[in-house]
Chains A and B, each alone.
Chain A
Amino acid sequence: MEGYVTRRTTGPLRSLAVLWVCLLSSPGCDVGAVHENDAVSTGFEWPSSAQLDADFHVPRPPLSDETFPCSDCHDPEIPVNRQRRELQMAHTEIQLRHAEWGRWCLDCHDAGDRDQLRLASGERVPFEESYRLCGQCHGDKLRDWRIGVHGRRTGSWSGEKSYLLCVHCHDSHDPAFKPIEPMPGPRPPRRTP
């Protein structure tokens, strides 16, 4: 796999490659790590994963004490039901509008450990690293997010920055950005009589 990436593909091709690597690689695939060896011909230095982690801190995911840990309710003794169905006992508020034609709860939530998420590879990831799950499909967004171009950053342009997780802005079950109320517009100028 390394050989594939070090062909130094650039631009959209590279993001495809990243996606491809993620989808096919063994557990432990890390986009940042892949790029550590990826010297881009444009002169752009891709920061290493370690640098990124040092440069920003990700806030806690937006989980409430009522809903987390999930294992409070999801007893491992209950048999796993992988059937697509209308939920009636709990989570009835969730309307899945996120590639719902081909996806169901346990594609992302780990059946074995309800307090963790699950990558396509089967690797478990904590909610704190949910961006890795999102990045499986949205590789270009993950790339842009890591560098700070997708999503809001606060803090210092030259130093420590804060990120938000994907799920801070996007409802993971219905991720389209929702319309919001605008703040007041300017007052049109008025002539003096």
Chain B
Amino acid sequence: MTTHGTFGHFVVGSLREVTRGGLLYWGWIAGLLVLVGLGFVAYLGQLDDGLQTTSMRDQVSWAFYIGNFTFLVGVAAAAVLVVIPAYVYHWKPIKEVAILGELLAVASLVMCGLFVMVDIGRPERAWHLIPGLGYLNLPSSLLAWDVVVLNSYLALNFVIATYVLFSLFRGRQPRGWIFTPLVLLSIPCAIGIHTVTAFLYNGIPARPFWNSAILAPRFLASAFCSGPAVLLMVMQLLRRFTRFEIRDEAIWKIAELMAYAMFVNLFLLGAEVFKEYYSSTEHLIHMRYMFTGVDGKTSIVPYMWLSIAASVAAFLLFLVPWTRKNVVTLNLGCLLIWFGVYVEKGMGLVIPGLTPDTLGEIYEYFPSRSEFLISAGIFSVGFLLFTLMVKVATPILLGEFRVTPPARPTDGATPAEAT
């Protein structure tokens, strides 16, 4: 069969896969599409009126969009890092875990790109960032580095996932000598994207709240909490609705590793809090703004305490073996840590870093309606993309969707065993 024919078959088959689903599936897709539509309309408004439709001002000139971007870089990084335990502990469905991680990374990076695009003042000039065509200010600009590493990482994950899925689709086993090095390469790259993103903030001495050497480690620690939380929930869903074989032990092991990450995350936060409050220099004001408010300006304070409470609660749930292994408390913990890290990165990193501003002014930022709508729209694009990719990938991984309809496996074996 020609490659062309194979590809045509793949497209048709994929379309068949994504249009096949129950009420729950269609409800989910429809809900996401509605949010995408609302976000798109809001974005048209932003294009018409400029970024004044956001609550960002010169005093707080990066905010919700960039906070979401930062959080999602963490998700993208950590999704792939889940591969590490899969290798270390020789799990059977390693390829499935890896592919799911790659797909989540791809979806997250698409959202990252969209969040940057909606944040910049002249999106039509984004081509200025393409080396050769435009001008990328390397090596001095950290955002330029971020553009390079994020796009490389997106390409890498896209290539791995496409290669493996298309191989399986064509009824061939992906070659280990291609697959393994690429997956292994993606691990340092995952650490790299989050480190460079941390350095984007870290490298700004004008903002003492960010100019702390443990910022990159904190980024990684929090990413190790939030990224796997998504995967844990996705794995449980797949286990329930498909023939995916994911053993409890694998899930518990990931949860256990997350507990360590949560501890490190809280410990690093504590170290930061101690340093600021004990030394009590003029730089303390940013942390005070975050935890207690300054001069009666307290609009983000409740969110920060909620975030810490959620992170601590999740840590305790994951620390105790019984709650870690209980389906209800496990998923509650996943939601709590997702919320905790999301608020910490979305609001707790960017806003206090810029408040008070460099001349001491406190402008109380809170996202505008338009920012919420556009962000929800972008998250919906990401979830939609991830859903569709998983919808196509799952039957391929299970060997149910192939170029030549396979004989139903009778021995219950999954292709994973071949690795």
Q: A and B: direct contact (Cβ < 8 Å)?
A: yes
A residues contacting B by CB (< 8 A) are 188-189, 191-193
**Cross-chain contact A191 with B52 (CB below 8 angstroms):** no
What are the residues of chain A within 8 A of B53 when measuring CB–CB? 192
A188 to chain B: closest residue by CB: B363
Q: How far is the CA of A193 from the CA of B52 in the complex (A)?
A: 11
Q: Is A193 touching B58 in the complex (CB atoms < 8 A)?
A: no
State the Cβ distance, B313 to closest chain A Cβ, in Å: 31
Distance between Cα atoms of A192 and B58 in the complex (Å): 14
| Beta-carbon contact of A189 and B369 below 8 Å | no
Give CA–CA (A191, B365) in the complex, Å. 7
In the complex, which residues of chain A have a beta carbon less than 8 angstroms from the beta carbon of B364? 191
Residue of A nearest to B58 (CB): A189
Complex Cα distance, B372 from A193, in Å, reads 11
Contacts of A191 in B (CB 8 A): 55, 364-366, 368
What is the minimal beta-carbon distance from B260 to any residue of chain A, in angstroms? 40
Q: Is the CB of B59 within 8 A of A192?
A: no
Q: In the complex the two chains form, what is the Cα distance from A191 to B53 in whole Å?
A: 9
Residue of A nearest to B60 (CB): A189
**How long is the Cα–Cα vector from A189 to B57 in the complex, in angstroms?**
7
What bracket does the count of chain B residues touching chain A fall in?
A: 10 to 19
The answer to whether B387 has its CB under 8 Å from any CB of chain A is no
What residues of chain A lie closer than 8 Å to B54, measured between beta carbons? 192
| Cα–Cα distance between A188 and B57 once the two chains are bound (Å) | 10
Whether B363 pairs with A193 at a CB distance below 8 angstroms is no
Shortest Cβ distance from B363 into chain A, in angstroms? Answer: 5
**Interface pair B368/A192, CB less than 8 Å apart:** yes
Q: Return chain B residues, CB-CB under 8 Å to A188.
A: 363
Interface status of B370 (Cβ within 8 A of chain A):
yes
C-alpha spacing A191/B366, complex, angstroms = 7
Name the residue on B nearest A190 (C-beta).
B57
**B 29-80 contacts with A by CB, 8 A:** 52-55, 57-59
Residues of A within 8 A of B369 (CB): 192-193
Residue of A189, A192, A193 most packed against chain B (CB within 10 A): A192
List of 5 A-B pairs having minimum Cβ-Cβ separation, nearest first: A189-B57, A192-B368, A191-B55, A192-B55, A189-B363
Q: List 13 A-B contacts (CB under 8 A).
A: A189-B57, A189-B58, A189-B59, A189-B363, A191-B55, A191-B364, A191-B365, A191-B368, A192-B52, A192-B54, A192-B369, A192-B370, A193-B369
Please give, as numbers and ranges, the residues of chain B lying within 8 Å of A189 by CB-CB distance.
57-59, 363
**Nearest Cβ in chain A — how far from B63, in angstroms?**
11
Q: Which residues of B contact A192 (CB under 8 A)?
A: 52-55, 368-370
Closest residue to B51 on the A side, CB-wise?
A: A192
Which of chain A's residues has its CB closest to B366's CB? A191
* B370 neighbours in A (Cβ, 8 Å): 192
A-side contacts of B55, CB under 8 Å: 191-192
- By CB atoms of chain A within 10 A, which of B57, B59, B365, B369 has the most? B57
A-facing mask of B232-267, CB < 8 A → 1, else 0?
A: 000000000000000000000000000000000000
Among B55, B369, B370, the most chain A Cβ lie within 10 Å of the Cβ of B55
A191 nearest in chain B by CB position: B55
